[in-house]
Every structure is written in structure tokens, then in C-alpha cells.
Copies of this chain bind each other. A is one copy, B any other.
Amino acid sequence: MYTVSTQSINVVKNGNITTPLGFSAGGIHCGIKHKRLDLGWIYSEVPAAAAGVYTLNQFQAPPLKVTKESIAVKNTLQAVLVNSGVANACTGDQGLTDAYEMRQQFADELGVLEEDVAVASTGVIGVPLPMEKIKWGINQYGDKKTQDPSRFEKAILTTDTCIKNIAVQLVIDGKKISIGGVAKGSGMIHPNMATMLAFVTTDANVNPISLSNALKSVTDRTYNMITVDGDCSTNDMVLVLANGKAENNELSESHPQWKQFVKALEMVSQSLAKQIARDGEGATKLVEVHVKGAATEKGARQIAKTIISSNLVKTAIYGSDPNWGRIVCAIGYAEQPIQPDKVKVAIGNISVVENGLPMPFDEDEGTKYLEQENIQIHVDLQQGDAQATAWGCDLTYDYVKINASYRT
């Protein structure tokens, strides 16, 4: 964990992916969805250092393969094109051909190199991309009315109930650096699973290899620490673009302010991750599980994620039931070595378990705490110095409704 202060990092009011210099974004309705925006783009005036992380699902969708190929050429990107409504997953050779064509068409429209364009898709799987609609949409790029970052934020959504964005600023080498982010997640459209997409832009000048390292470590602490229902999609992708417009000295691990930059990247990523968790299907509460005193960070992460993934914990929180037994149970089956008689658990500030034994507490106070929208669970394993935080949501009637009966 970085112990850098966040005091010098400021959240920008109404900030977004175009807060950093040299980025523009937009979106249109090209006809994949019935009415809503369904095609969006991000553009940088100059090629930007770029890095990505991708789903570990072995059914990886074609756009991920194409985007990886783009970045591999020279670790840069100048534009990102995203469609929602159709995921272009489980589409075989045709899907790959379509993803290449989508990239080619947008590169031609912009007059940039094909390998400087990334593509992403989210929506129905097993259905081919409607390429005529996408081509028509790409041709509308020049229309000024479509240029608006909020249109991009909307164009990538599926069953999300709200847009997800943030921007922060900090000073590096005396230059103001901005980092902006946008995400979608936890949506589900027939016959598909939740897809998480996140795009981060910055005008910082960053070495691309260092940027990739930073993204990987930040992802392990943010995007990989959220769960809505434990299902990991075929299309998950996080991209970061750094175009250098802020004109700082190149950031890398040897730069004196490197950790501060990574901390800012983590702030943006954590905010997006929490926004995704809070907007989990049917969710009424954001749940944060903090595990400390673990022997290893990996162990702390595993235990935090096991608690946040437990259907029994999630339903108890929905029912505002301070059911510490379910939390203890999840700690016990997380497959990490623990000493049961050292475990402490608190729900908010209410200590419910000390040294593995239940503490007397006011159940009404516990219920009252859990009736709030933001719930914190604290676990102290008292066996080391490592810690981790995971985010999730409650499991509700609406989750079942959204996923079982939206066809009727």
C-alpha cells in the first residue's frame, strides 16, 4: 500500500475524461439499442502512452484481442471506440473480422494510425455486430453536436442506472496534471453477463512501461476488489491513456513524484470501482469490507473478497441484520490461514467479535447502522501487517427480478 498523502490531490468538480488537456469525447445513437446512445469515442490530439488490463475469462471477446494488438505495436493509443448493445463475444471468426473493421473504419475517419485505435463492446453475446449501423455512426464523428464527454459516459452504459465519472488534479514538476475516468458496470442484458469497462485519461507525460506497471498494481487494489455477483465477464477491460500535454518531465518509477501519480491514478480507479459496486444490479447499499492484520496482502484481499461475495452476508445487509455469524463463517472458509481465536469483527463502529468470540452489543443499534446506504465491515486478523479493502453491494429482491424475470 502506498502511504502517500492524498492531501495534494484534488477532486475536480464535474470532472471527466476531457478534464485532462488534449482529450475530447462524444457519442451518438447509431441504432444498436432501441433509443439510447450506443456508440462513443475518446480522442487525443496526439498519440498517448497507453496500457490495458483485460478479463481473465477464457472466452475473451474479439475487441479485447484487437485492442491488445493495437497497444502492442508501440504502446500508444490516440482513440477509443466503444459500442454498447452487442458485446461481439462468442462470435467466432466473423467477430474478429468485425472488430478489425470497426477499428479500421474509425482510424480512417480520424486520419490516425489503425494501431492507435482501441475498440470495446458490451451487450448481448453470441450476436454479430451490426456493422452497417456502426459504420454509419462512425461517419457522424464530424458532427459537433455529438462531441460531449457526457454523451460518451452514456453511450457505454447497458443496464447501469447512472453514469460513472471522476477527475482529479495534482501538481508534478510544477505542472498541473489531470486524470479523468469513466466506467460502466454491473449492467446485464440478455443473454449476457455484467461487463465492466473503465477508461482513464491523463495529460501527464508517463513512460508507457511504467504506466502499465502502475495500472496493474492499481487494478489489483481497485477494479479487482469489487464484486456484484462474482461473475467475471468476457468483455471486461480497463484502458489508460497518457498524452503528455501537461509537459511534466516523463514520469516513471525513478521520478521523485511517481508514487504520488500512482496514488492519484488509484484514487480515480477506486472511485470508479466504488461507483460500479454501488450501482450493482438491484443494490440498495454500498458495502466496504476492510481486512487488516493479515499475514499477506494476498490473504487480506482473498478474505475481504470472500466476505463481500457471500450471498448470506449480502442478504443480511439487505435485511439490516447485524449477522456477525455469517461474516465469521466467510472468514473461515476463505482458504487463507487464520487463527480463529484472534479474529476481531466490527460492523461500522460496533464491535461484534473479539478474539473469535461474540461480544454483547445492542442489536437495535446494529440494525440502525445497517439501514444506512454506506456500510463498513472491519476485520482484524491480528496476525500480521497486511491489509486490503473490497467493495460490493447487498443482494436484493430486485437482483433476482432483474436477472430472472426481465424477459416477462
Write the residues of chain A forming the contact surface with B, with a CB cutoff of 8 angstroms. Answer: 55-60, 89-92, 124-126, 188, 190-194, 229-234, 309-312, 315-316, 318-319, 321-326, 328-333, 335, 337-338, 340-341, 353, 356-358, 395-397, 399-401, 403-408
Cα distance A357–B91 in the bound complex, in angstroms:
6
Which of chain B's residues have a CB closer than 8 A to the CB of A232? 329, 332-333
- Apart from A315-B400, A395-B404, 11 more pairs, CB < 8 Å: A59-B329, A59-B340, A60-B332, A90-B353, A191-B326, A193-B329, A231-B326, A311-B311, A315-B403, A315-B404, A321-B407
- Measured CB to CB, the nearest residue on chain B to A335 is B56
> Would you call A312 and B193 a contact (CB within 8 A)?
yes
* 23 A-B residue pairings within 8 Å (CB atoms): A55-B333, A58-B332, A58-B337, A58-B338, A59-B332, A90-B325, A90-B356, A92-B341, A124-B325, A125-B325, A125-B328, A191-B322, A192-B326, A193-B312, A193-B326, A311-B395, A315-B399, A315-B403, A316-B403, A319-B404, A319-B405, A319-B406, A397-B401
> Would you call A400 and B396 a contact (CB within 8 A)?
yes
> Would you call B58 and A90 a contact (CB within 8 A)?
no
Among the listed B59, B90, B321, B406, which residue makes an inter-chain contact with A191, where contact means beta carbons less than 8 Å apart?
B321
- Shortest Cβ gap from A384 to chain B (Å): 16
> Would you call A330 and B397 a contact (CB within 8 A)?
no
- Measured CB to CB, the nearest residue on chain B to A126 is B358
Which of chain B's residues have a CB closer than 8 A to the CB of A57? 329, 332-333
